Amino acid sequence: PIWHLGAAVDGSVAVIEAAASRGVDLLLVHHGIFWDGSRPVTGRLYRRIAPLVRGGVALYAAHLPLDAHPEFGNSAQLIRALGLKTGERFGRFADREIGFVAHTDEEREALRGRVADLVLGPVRLIPGGPPRVRRIGVVTGGGGSFIREAAEAGLDTLLTGEGAHHTYLDAMEFGVNVLYAGHYATETWGVKALAKRVADEFRLSWEFLDFPTGL
């Protein structure tokens, strides 16, 4: 039976061991343990699976579906936490859009401050676009690759977690402000929202297992 839920960004050894020690029956994570098909359960993978089995913990991972979901998704939840509304879809990845456009009217430094207050950490600004922000593309996690798409969509700002070195030049040369608020910090929102919904629906307890990476 499931009585207590755990929510976490990563299905890491540390998170799984903490879940087992805290009596979690079902662990909901954004970054799971299988990415490219089945593998032998040895080494690092064994160190993740063994405490699940020993502790009787079930593991559920939702990656892109949780990024993209219009209600429980990371981007949608972050937009709402900023007091904004989700608009049209944005951020084409594979066969779907995983982010949203949000509309505002504020100075980019003010927006950076509000995002920093939400993620409880530093937010890096690349000031490639106009000082006043009106159309924001939001894709949490590693969304630096969406700068060109943002420019082509007529957006002035991209809010995401992190990006590669060359994205500084992309932002400056495509004319887009970029806010990097941290991969981990921008992806705590979805699992929290999902865990709360499941807990409310089935009258369960839940907790967020916070193991920040600093990235």
CATH fold of 4-61+188-208 reads 3.40.1390
Tokens 């098909």, residue located: 37
pLDDT at residue 35, rounded to an integer: 82
**Longest pairwise C-alpha distance within the chain:** 55
- State the Cα–Cα distance between residues 98 and 64, nearest whole angstrom: 7
Which architecture does CATH list for 67-183? Answer: 3-Layer(aba) Sandwich (3.40)
Q: What is the CA radius of gyration of the chain?
A: 18
Q: Which among 127, 136, 59, 80 is positioned nearest to 104, based on CA atoms?
A: 136
Q: pLDDT per residue over 12-32, tens digit each? A: 999 999 999 999 999 999 999
pLDDT < 50: residue spans in the chain: none
Q: Identify the pLDDT of residue 65.
A: 94
Predicted local distance difference test score (pLDDT) of residue 6: 99
- Using CA atoms, how far apart are residues 162 and 183, in angstroms rounded to an integer? 6
Please work out, in degrees rounded to the nearest 5, the angle formed at the alpha carbon of residue 98 by the alpha carbons of 94 and 102.
145
Q: Delimit the domains of the chain by residue range.
A: 4-61+188-208, 67-183
Q: What is the pLDDT of residue 5?
A: 99
CA–CA dist 89, 102 (Å, integer): 9
pLDDT attached to residue 183:
99
Residue 147, CB half-sphere, CA atoms under 13 Å: how many? 27
CA–chain centroid gap for 155, Å, is 20
CATH topology match: 4-61+188-208 vs 67-183: yes
